Structure 1
Amino acid sequence: MNAVQLPVLNPPLKGFLRWAYTLSITSAHEETIPWCYSNFIQLSCTKKFLENGRQCFVDFFRGKPNELNFNNPFLLTCSVNYTILENLALDAWPKFFADQIRNGYYCVVFLDEAKLSPAASYQKAPFPHHLFLYGFDWDESVFYASMFDHTGVYRNLQIPFREFQDAVQSMRQLLKESLTADHHTYFYKYEPHAPYPFDKTAAIDQLRDYINGETRLNRINYNPDDEEAFGIKVYDYLQMYYDAVENNDSRLGDRNDVRHLHVLWEHKKMMSERIGYLVDEGIIPYDEELVEGYKDVTKRAMKLRDQYIRHEIRNDKEVFERLKLRFDQFRDEEPVLMQKLITLLEG
């Protein structure tokens, strides 16, 4: 086979690539839908981002393990580092990864994205990052890949073998000079799971954790209280973050202003879609207040993200008042809607 493309679907979450990459694989299989809607309820946020120039992260939370590493029940996962691959000649890398794809493995390769022409970082400072490969065309000497392009859009595109090799060689040099850490390369094979019905218990636990601003996931292995905020408490730290942005706080490190709002919108969208799924499957009865309430929250969250994007273009200072208004609204409305969902799930 000189050309292979493994099945992928436009992923439901794109805020962080650990979700986009793994969910683009599993979302192509209908049997994974109940598992997906049993998850992705909780949010977390960095607390101490104004200390020592730390970066603020707002993200979905599924426990502490690395989502790329053995944390999806439908993916058989293998990982290797550059030390293991160091004896693989550079010109052998395309065939090595093409062979893995031919054997049914999706590849998430750690390399220097600044060497890839579609990337925003192309020909700029080194940008260590993971690239998702789901196919290849040997005659055309290209991989089929998914990534954020130079416009910030997540899409499928082609990466020439030569650019791929340049990105690998650059990463080898960065590691040799200790300019970055090795975040490993991953291989995933989709494996059908035993039947996974929608998990009411898991969903209710996550909903309660969200309302209470806490987490019970994987606490046996770590204590998150000092480092992360959860659920409804995320709004307090989002407000703190955008106050710092508005006031040009010098303590604020690397910024991801729009990404925070994008993830917030994805959370509301996922909640709304989950409720629609539960109604369609007869797991809960239709409740207009719940269904329309989360649709409205989702619409306002998307509008807020889009308003901030426009603010970045024309510097509309009024956006910060809208941020505060929406955060206060969501903080008040979501617990009511989530409690209604819990009541319906408990039936």
Structure 2
Amino acid sequence: MNAVQLPVLNPPLKGFLRWAYTLSITSVHGETIPWYYSNFIQLSCTKKFLEDGSQYYIDFFRGKPNELNFNNPFLLTCSINYTIMNHLVLDEWPKFFANQIRSGYYCVVFLDESKLSTAACYQKEPFPHHLFLYGFDWDESFFHASMFDHTGVYRNLQIPFQEFQDAVRSMRDLLDENLTADHHTYLYKYEMHSPYPFDKKATIDQLRDYLNEETHLNRINYNFDDEEVFGLKVYDYLQMYFDAVKNKDSRLGVRNDMRHLHVLWEHKRVMSERIEYLVGEGIIPYDEELVEGCKNITTRARKLRDQYIRHEIREDQTMFEQLKLRFEQFQTEEPALLRRLITLLEG
């Protein structure tokens, strides 16, 4: 087989590639839908971004390690690093990954994305990053890949073998010079899990954690008390972040304003879609207040993100008043809706 493409779907979450890459694999398979809606409920964010100058993050939380690292029940995962791969001469890298794809493995390769002409960082500063490969054409010498392109849009595209090798070579150099850490390359094969019905208990537990601003996921291995906040508490830190942006606070590290608002919208959208799924499957009865309330929050979150896009093009200081208003509204409105959902699930 000189050309292979493994099946992928446009992923439902794109705020962070750890979700986009793995969900583009599992979303192909209808049997994973109950698992999907039993998850992606909790939010977390970084806490000390002004104290230590680190980058602020807000993201879905499913426990640690992160999703690339053996955290998806439907994916058989292999992890390799550059030390293991050093025996391969550079010209052998395309063949190695083509063979993995031929064997049914999706490949998430850690490399220097600044060497890829499709990337926004092309020919700029080095950008160590993971690239998702799901196919290849050996005769035409390219991989089928998914990534955020130079316009910031997540899409499927083609990466020439030569650019791929250049990105690997640059990554090797960065590691040799101790300019970055090796975040590993991952190989994934989809394997049908034992039947995974919608998990009411796991869903209720996560909803309560969100409301109580805490997490019980995988605490046996990790202590979160001083690094992250959870659930409704993230709104306080979102507000703190955007106050720092408004005031041009010199303590603020790398900015990524749009991603934060995009993840917030994805969180509301998934909750609204989850409720539609639960009603459609007969797991809960239709409840107009719950359905319409969550749809309304989702719409306002999307508009907030879109308004901020316009603000970044043409600065409007009233945007920060709108952000504060929406964060306060969401933080006030969500508890009643989510408690209503818990009551319906408990039936």
Q: Same fold (TM over 0.5)?
A: yes
Q: 1:75 and 2:75 equivalent? A: yes
Report % sequence identity. Answer: 82
How far apart, CA to CA, are the structure 2 residues paired with 1:206 and 1:177?
43
- SS at 1:50's partner residue? helix
Structure 2, unaligned stretches of length 5 or more? none
Q: How far off its partner does 1:226 sit?
A: 1.1
Q: 1:292 and 2:283 equivalent? A: no
Residue type of the alignment partner of 2:6: L
Residue type of the alignment partner of 1:319: M
How far apart, CA to CA, are the structure 2 residues paired with 1:269 and 1:11?
14
Residue type of the alignment partner of 2:209: D
Question: Could you say which residue in structure 2 is the equivalent of 1:140?
Answer: 140
Q: How far off its partner does 1:53 sit?
A: 1.1
Q: How far off its partner does 1:278 sit?
A: 0.3
Question: Could you say which residue in structure 2 is the equivalent of 1:305?
Answer: 305
Question: Could you say which residue in structure 2 is the equivalent of 1:50?
Answer: 50
Q: 1:269 and 2:285 equivalent? A: no
Question: Could you say which residue in structure 2 is the equivalent of 1:129?
Answer: 129
How far apart, CA to CA, are the structure 2 residues paired with 1:182 and 1:66?
15
Question: Could you say which residue in structure 2 is the equivalent of 1:176?
Answer: 176
How far apart, CA to CA, are the structure 1 residues paired with 2:86 and 2:51?
37
Question: Could you say which residue in structure 2 is the equivalent of 1:242?
Answer: 242
- SS at 1:229's partner residue? strand
- SS at 1:18's partner residue? helix
More off after superposition, 47-56 vs 279-288: 47-56
Structure 1, unaligned stretches of length 5 or more? none
Residue type of the alignment partner of 1:123: Q
Residue type of the alignment partner of 2:23: L
Q: How far off its partner does 1:131 sit?
A: 0.1
Q: How far off its partner does 1:90 sit?
A: 0.4
- SS at 1:183's partner residue? coil
How far apart, CA to CA, are the structure 2 residues paired with 1:57 and 1:298?
20
How far apart, CA to CA, are the structure 1 residues paired with 2:128 and 2:31?
34
- SS at 2:132's partner residue? strand
How far apart, CA to CA, are the structure 2 residues paired with 1:238 and 1:321?
13
1:303-345 CA distance string (max 9 Å, x none): 0001011101001111000000000000011111100000000
How far apart, CA to CA, are the structure 2 residues paired with 1:51 and 1:132?
34
Residue type of the alignment partner of 2:306: D
Question: Could you say which residue in structure 2 is the equivalent of 1:99?
Answer: 99
How far apart, CA to CA, are the structure 2 residues paired with 1:328 and 1:60?
20
Q: How far off its partner does 1:66 sit?
A: 2.1
How far apart, CA to CA, are the structure 2 residues paired with 1:158 and 1:254?
29
How far apart, CA to CA, are the structure 2 residues paired with 1:64 and 1:84?
24
1:125-170 CA distance string (max 9 Å, x none): 0000000000001111010000000110000000000000000000
Question: Could you say which residue in structure 2 is the equivalent of 1:27?
Answer: 27
Question: Could you say which residue in structure 2 is the equivalent of 1:213?
Answer: 213
Question: Could you say which residue in structure 2 is the equivalent of 1:62?
Answer: 62
Question: Could you say which residue in structure 2 is the equivalent of 1:328?
Answer: 328
Q: How far off its partner does 1:221 sit?
A: 1.3
Question: Could you say which residue in structure 1 is the equivalent of 2:337?
Answer: 337
How far apart, CA to CA, are the structure 2 residues paired with 1:192 and 1:221?
27
Over the residues paired in the alignment, what is the CA RMSD in angstroms? 0.5
Question: Could you say which residue in structure 1 is the equivalent of 2:152?
Answer: 152
TM (normalized to structure 1)? 0.99
Question: Could you say which residue in structure 2 is the equivalent of 1:38?
Answer: 38
Aligned residues: 347
Residue type of the alignment partner of 1:278: L
How far apart, CA to CA, are the structure 2 residues paired with 1:145 and 1:337?
40
Question: Could you say which residue in structure 1 is the equivalent of 2:187?
Answer: 187
How far apart, CA to CA, are the structure 1 residues paired with 2:191 and 2:221?
28
Q: How far off its partner does 1:51 sit?
A: 1.5
Q: How far off its partner does 1:18 sit?
A: 0.3
Q: How far off its partner does 1:218 sit?
A: 1.1
Question: Could you say which residue in structure 2 is the equivalent of 1:4?
Answer: 4
How far apart, CA to CA, are the structure 2 residues paired with 1:306 and 1:155?
20
Question: Could you say which residue in structure 1 is the equivalent of 2:283?
Answer: 283
Question: Could you say which residue in structure 1 is the equivalent of 2:88?
Answer: 88
Residue type of the alignment partner of 1:131: L
